[in-house]
């Protein structure tokens, strides 16, 4: 099967209002309105940007998409689940306040931010899937309950999954806390001898799995939930795990959770990747002005979550004149694992036809 993917050129320099209008043009050109019905509870899945991050996709950039849903008389809500790691997206209350501060709520977009996995990230539904790793995945309760989804992903690199785009947004971003832990289960880091005992990993570990002695930090593998927070916060590159083997399993699990998040929503979901400000690390990092790996490309959209990610990766590789692992400066991080596995389990197709919208 060959899926249709739509592209409109856009860059951060266009300004938020123009980007929003371009997203709206893409929505109309691709007839994405066909996915939505009057009175649908429509989940607009976003990433509101970690506190301190400045390169996340800003709320005004999706106003045009929200307005299209409102014009269709759906009941859209912006949404994202709680993170495993500590920070301001760790529970629904702090997450909702941050979302409002970043314009993802009633004041900014004119629609509410609603955490689909409840106050603590534990409101979930077990969804049966025909996966290779799992036959059941834990998905946020309101993602399963709502009638339709508009997925809005900021395309970035990702320290464990290779890229953060549509499949990652659906798989990790729509899973409950238990579902996230399942995806991270294979990631068990260890601490190398160059540890400086700075204590950053200790204070960020949500599982109380790190102890620091006179020599270095140590990770209790039985307590560790594999959230990779210590990998992210260590400034000395002293936390490591077997990327080659482990990230492949994580990526497959992400794809299987994406399959669960979309179960029962065939023809009732559309996927937008904003390939703008393409940073090497994702929007969960609280860093300002992270460097980009390629020039801005635009907005890529499809009703096929696999095709939209494959097309986005192809565009980034073409713009950067290198394969993604080289652009990520990590030969062992290859996002193809999640894309190929997603196709294998029936999430979508890697074969696509690209239509440019002006």
Residues that bind ligand SF4 (CB under 6 A): 189, 191, 195-201, 205-207, 209-210, 212, 217, 219, 224-230, 233-234, 236, 238-239
Other CB atoms within a 10 A radius of the CB of residue 62 amount to 26
Of 140 and 207, CB closest to ligand SF4: 207
Q: Is 104 left (phi over 0), alpha (psi -120 to 50) or beta?
A: beta
As a residue count, the chain comes to 358
DSSP state of 205: -
CB of 188 to ligand SF4, least distance (A): 7
Of 38 and 213, CB closest to ligand SF4: 213
Of 153 and 201, CB closest to ligand SF4: 201
| Separation of alpha carbons 69 and 293, rounded Å | 33
Of 56 and 241, CB closest to ligand SF4: 241
CB of 159 to ligand SF4, least distance (A): 12
CB of 325 to ligand SF4, least distance (A): 22
Of 224 and 299, CB closest to ligand SF4: 224
- Those residues whose C-beta lies under 8 Å from the C-beta of residue 131, and which sit 6 or more positions away, are 137, 256, 259, 345
Of 233 and 276, CB closest to ligand SF4: 233
CB of 96 to ligand SF4, least distance (A): 24
With 0-12 / 13-18 / 19 or more C-beta atoms within 10 angstroms meaning exposed / middle / buried, residue 106 is exposed
Nearest CA among 315, 298, 319 for reference residue 11: 298
Of 225 and 299, CB closest to ligand SF4: 225
CB of 87 to ligand SF4, least distance (A): 12
CB of 328 to ligand SF4, least distance (A): 20
CB of 250 to ligand SF4, least distance (A): 12
DSSP state string for 324-347: HHHHTT-TT--THHHHHHHHHTTS
Buried b (16+ CB within 10 A) or exposed e, 331-355: eebbbbbbbbbbbebebbbbebeee
Of 112 and 206, CB closest to ligand SF4: 206
CB of 140 to ligand SF4, least distance (A): 21
With 0-12 / 13-18 / 19 or more C-beta atoms within 10 angstroms meaning exposed / middle / buried, residue 194 is exposed
Q: Which helix (H) or strand (E) holds 284?
A: none
């Amino acid at each position: 099967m060959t899926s249709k993917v739509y592209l409109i050129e856009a860059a951060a320099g266009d300004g938020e209002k123009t980007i929003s209008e371009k997203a709206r043009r893409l929505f109309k050109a691709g007839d994405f309105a066909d996915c939505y019905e009057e009175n649908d509870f429509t989940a607009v899945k976003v990433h509101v940007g970690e506190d301190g991050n400045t390169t996340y996709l800003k709320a005004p950039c999706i106003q045009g998409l929200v307005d299209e849903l409102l014009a269709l008389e759906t009941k859209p809500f912006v949404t994202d689940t709680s993170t495993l790691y500590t920070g301001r997206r760790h529970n629904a209350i702090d997450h909702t306040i941050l979302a409002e501060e970043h314009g993802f709520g009633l004041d900014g977009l004119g629609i509410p931010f609603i955490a689909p996995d409840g106050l603590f990230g534990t409101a979930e539904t077990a969804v049966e899937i025909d996966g290779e790793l799992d036959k059941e995945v834990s998905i946020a309760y309101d993602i399963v309950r709502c009638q339709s989804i508009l997925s809005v992903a900021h395309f970035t690199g990702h320290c464990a999954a290779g890229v953060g785009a549509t499949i990652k947004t659906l798989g990790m971003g729509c899973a409950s806390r238990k579902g996230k832990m399942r995806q991270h289960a294979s990631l068990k880091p260890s601490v190398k001898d160059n540890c400086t005992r700075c204590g950053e990993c200790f204070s960020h570990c949500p599982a109380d799995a790190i102890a620091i002695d006179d020599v270095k930090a140590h990770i209790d593998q039985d307590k560790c939930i594999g959230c990779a927070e210590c990998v992210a916060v260590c400034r000395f590159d002293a936390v490591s795990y077997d990327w080659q083997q482990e990230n492949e399993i994580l990526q497959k699990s992400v794809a299987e959770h994406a399959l669960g998040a979309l179960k029962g929503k065939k023809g009732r979901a559309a996927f937008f990747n904003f390939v703008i400000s393409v940073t090497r690390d994702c929007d969960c990092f609280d860093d300002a002005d992270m460097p980009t790996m390629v020039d801005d490309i635009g907005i890529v959209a499809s009703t096929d979550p696999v095709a939209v990610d494959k097309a986005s990766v192809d565009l980034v590789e073409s713009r950067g004149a290198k394969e993604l692992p080289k652009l990520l400066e990590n030969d062992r991080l290859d996002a193809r694992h999640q894309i190929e596995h997603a196709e294998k389990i029936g999430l979508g197709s890697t074969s696509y036809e690209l239509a440019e919208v002006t």
